[in-house]
Amino acid sequence: MSQPTRGYRVFQGVNGVVLTLVVLVTLYPFVNIIARSFSGEGHIRAGEVALWPKGFNLTTYRIVFQDSMFWRNYGNTVFYTVVSTVIAMVLTTCYAYVLSKRDLKGRGLLVGVAVFTMFFTGGLIPNYVLVTSLGLKNSVWAIALPNAISVFNLLVMKAFFESLPVELEEAAEIDGLSTYGILLRIVLPLSKAVIATMVLFYSVSFWNSWFSAYLYMDRTELMPVTVYLRNLIAGATTGGNAGAATEQLSQVGANIQAVTIVLTSLPILCVYPFVQRFFVSGVMLGAVKG
Amino acid sequence: MSTSTTSAPPPDTQDPAAKTPRRSPLPVVRRGWRRAWRRDWQLYSLAVLPLLFFLVFRYLPMLGNVIAFRRFEPGGSILGEQWVGLRYVRMFLTDPTFWQVFRNTLWLGGLTLLFCFPLPLVLALLLNEVRRRSLRRFVQSVSYLPHFLSIVIVAGITLQMLATDGPVNHALGLLGHDPVRFIQEPGWFRTVYVGSEIWQTAGWGTILYLAALTTIDEDLYEAARIDGASRWRQIWHVTLPGIRPTMITLLILNIGTFMAVGFEKVLLLYNPLTYPTADVVSTYLYRAGVESNSFSYAAAIGLFEAIIGLVLIMSANQLSRRTVGTSLW
């Protein structure tokens, strides 16, 4: 190790300051929103809320908790996320496994079919027309089916399957296991890490999605909570959240937004510290493959 | 890995064409399909449902673009009723609103590329210089966080931060400024959009660079030090060339999504007051198609958008292959 020069030490100091700023700028909005969600409306209006709640009260939380539509939409989000993730996992695993067989005839074509869709898509309108005419509107299928395979996830999973030792599968084949048997009894048990990563990738993206539901769901009671929140921040002028449009509500508008933001991101914020490492390794796995 | 090629199953079932080093003459390949099917039909059967998915939900919509050249009526055939030629293309090319949203798209796309592409690289280089591992991990964890939130939440937070009674305006007030109506003024939209995009994506963008940085050989730094290279010159001559393939790949991908800039985010952040700067091609076609039911017209715009995107990504790819020898395919 050579001696750090003076210039380098100055750089280290500046670097520390810059990165501290990055952390502060990233975190401040969260802290502020949480503080706002517990604050009195008057203090928010006056712009007094920064890091700590002013005029602490739980009125807004009570209002949101009593809104049956909020809970209904929250439940929808859970339901849509689970169904969509299961479908996505089955389809992605099957295809990734097929693609991982290096000596399969026609493999290049099968890869091409998937990869081409990363660069050219049908576009919003044909998709909308398709989903509508298939009669998928107002059902979970409108969310789950059109997004059943993410090509990025597919490639990550394929890379993982390719890294498994071939000898194991060959031994299983000699012992008389069929392809399905090999996949279910040999490959999947060895792939817990990548399966966990994929479940996380898919479930977070379905939990966070809003546009499919916004596009294909007509009735408020079918909306996921993200659309509930979207309707709130759009000013709630369309009467999107019927039943709660009281005077009380309009008074605490800014507050309700803060509370809903906190409650909607809560599950993600809670699991984030635990799942973050999974995501990171998953993305790197995909990145190394290119 | 060498294991996969050396230890093949019994030779009679092997298709020699699948292995690159020993390419066999054509006849063997021709006979291969039937044999491959007999041997691997179970594998192929696993591909049926996924292929059906790609066919129905990815390739059928590509075909569905023919409604850009046919009159479509809601409730009618999804491929339209009758041919109308380039009617809808001509329509949007003479539509002044289209050109306005086209300009807005170029602006937002250009600004996003200008700021959101290099910032993760800079951040990754700074992070890479941090010696304390725990500190580095902490900064990374925090900066990834916004990436995991729904875009609706990001938009909600952005609107709250920039509201007239929000923290930003409060800070401006302390400096003696009048409150700025960031959300309602067209002049502010681009700043607001790019700012929130940076907040959401810069940290996550570092991840691929950091992965690439770990693959650089330590010996190269050692050699550079012995040659008397300063820290700065080490970055310039060792680090940057080391992550160049990653940079190029990300740049190509960024250019490919240029036309589709932040559709969802714009949709969440804009309002009729800010349309003059905020409305982009994708939001315009969304309103024309889904809200006003002009499906054919919107499809024509969408097809135009997709083709530009494809051309952009292919030319970027070609260019980088010619100039630096890295490409996506």
Among A222, A211, A228, residue whose Cα is nearest residue A264? A228
Note the pLDDT tens digit of each residue in A82-140.
Answer: 999 999 999 999 999 999 998 888 999 999 999 999 888 888 999 999 999 899 999 99
In a domain, B274, yes or no: yes
Listed by number, the residues of chain B in 89-108 with a beta carbon closer than 8 Å to a beta carbon of chain A are none
Question: Considering Cα of A74, then A76, then A82, then A84, what sign does the dihedral take?
Answer: negative
Inter-chain touch A23–B138, beta carbons under 8 Å: yes
Among B206, B205, B238, B225, residue whose Cα is nearest residue B130? B206
Inter-chain touch B303–A123, beta carbons under 8 Å: yes
- CB contact, 8 Å: B274 with chain A? no
Q: What is the amino acid identity at position A54? A: K
Q: How many beta carbons lie within 10 A of that of residue A79, not counting itself?
A: 12
∠ CA A160-A166-A170, nearest 5°, is 140
Q: What is the DSSP string of B60-117?
A: HHHHHGGGGSEE--TTS-TT-SEE-TTHHHHHHHT-HHHHHHHHHHHHHHHHHHHHHT
User: DSSP H helical segments within chain B, as ranges?
Assistant: 3-6, 26-46, 48-54, 60-64, 87-93, 96-116, 118-128, 133-144, 151-162, 167-174, 186-214, 218-226, 231-234, 240-242, 244-256, 263-269, 275-278, 281-286, 295-323
User: DSSP H helical segments within chain A, as ranges?
Assistant: 6-37, 41-45, 59-66, 68-99, 107-119, 124-133, 141-144, 151-163, 166-174, 179-181, 188-190, 192-208, 211-216, 225-233, 247-251, 253-289
In a domain, B130, yes or no: yes
In a domain, B210, yes or no: yes
Q: How many beta carbons lie within 10 A of that of residue B291, not counting itself?
A: 9
Here the tokens at position B107 are 């602006």
∠ CA A94-A95-A100, nearest 5°, is 105
Here the tokens at position B115 are 């700021």
Per-residue pLDDT of chain B (329 residues; tens, 9 = 90+): 333 333 344 444 444 444 444 444 454 455 688 888 888 889 999 999 999 999 999 999 999 899 899 888 777 777 778 888 888 999 899 999 999 999 999 999 999 999 999 999 999 999 988 888 888 889 999 999 999 999 999 999 998 888 877 888 888 888 888 888 888 889 999 999 999 999 999 998 898 888 888 888 888 888 888 888 887 888 888 888 888 888 888 888 888 778 777 889 999 998 888 899 999 999 999 999 988 888 999 999 999 998 998 898 888 888 888 887 777 77
Here the tokens at position A103 are 């000596």
How far is Cα A103 from Cα A170, in angstroms, rounded to an integer?
A: 13
Question: Considering Cα of B69, then B74, then B79, then B80, what sign does the dihedral take?
Answer: negative
Pick the residue of B19, B40, B69, B152 with the most A CBs within 10 A to test the interface with A by mutation.
Answer: B152
Inter-chain touch B144–A284, beta carbons under 8 Å: no
Note the pLDDT tens digit of each residue in A183-197.
Answer: 998 899 999 888 988
Contacts of B248 (CB under 8 A, 6+ apart): B320, B324, B326, B327
Q: Provide the number of structural domains found in chain B.
A: 1
Among A66, A64, A34, residue whose Cα is nearest residue A50? A34
Phi, psi of B82 (to 5 degrees): -145, 155
In a domain, B161, yes or no: yes
Pick the residue of A74, A92, A124 with the most B CBs within 10 A to test the interface with B by mutation.
Answer: A124
Give the chain B residue whose CA is nearest to the CA of A267: B149
Among B209, B212, B236, B214, residue whose Cα is nearest residue B224? B236
Inter-chain touch B148–A204, beta carbons under 8 Å: yes
Question: Considering Cα of A190, then A193, then A196, then A201, what sign does the dihedral take?
Answer: negative
Note the pLDDT tens digit of each residue in A6-52.
Answer: 777 888 888 889 999 999 999 999 999 998 888 877 777 776 777 88
In a domain, B48, yes or no: no
How far is Cα A246 from Cα B147, in angstroms, rounded to an integer?
A: 34
In a domain, B42, yes or no: no
Whole-prediction pTM: 0.85
In a domain, B217, yes or no: yes
Q: How far is CA A5 from the centre of its chain?
A: 45
Among A226, A39, A44, A130, residue whose Cα is nearest residue B154? A226
Under a CB-based contact definition with an 8 Å cutoff, are residues A283 and B208 in contact?
Answer: yes
Q: What is the mean pLDDT of residues A227-240?
A: 67
Specify the pLDDT at position B139. Answer: 92
CATH code of the domain in which B260 resides: 1.10.3720.10
Among A38, A29, A49, residue whose Cα is nearest residue A252? A38
> Cα-Cα-Cα-Cα dihedral of B60, B62, B64, B68, to 10°?
180
Domain that holds residue B103: 69-323
In a domain, B111, yes or no: yes
Strand partners, B83: B70
Inter-chain touch B56–A130, beta carbons under 8 Å: yes
How far is Cα A266 from Cα A158, in angstroms, rounded to an integer?
A: 32
Inter-chain touch B61–A121, beta carbons under 8 Å: yes
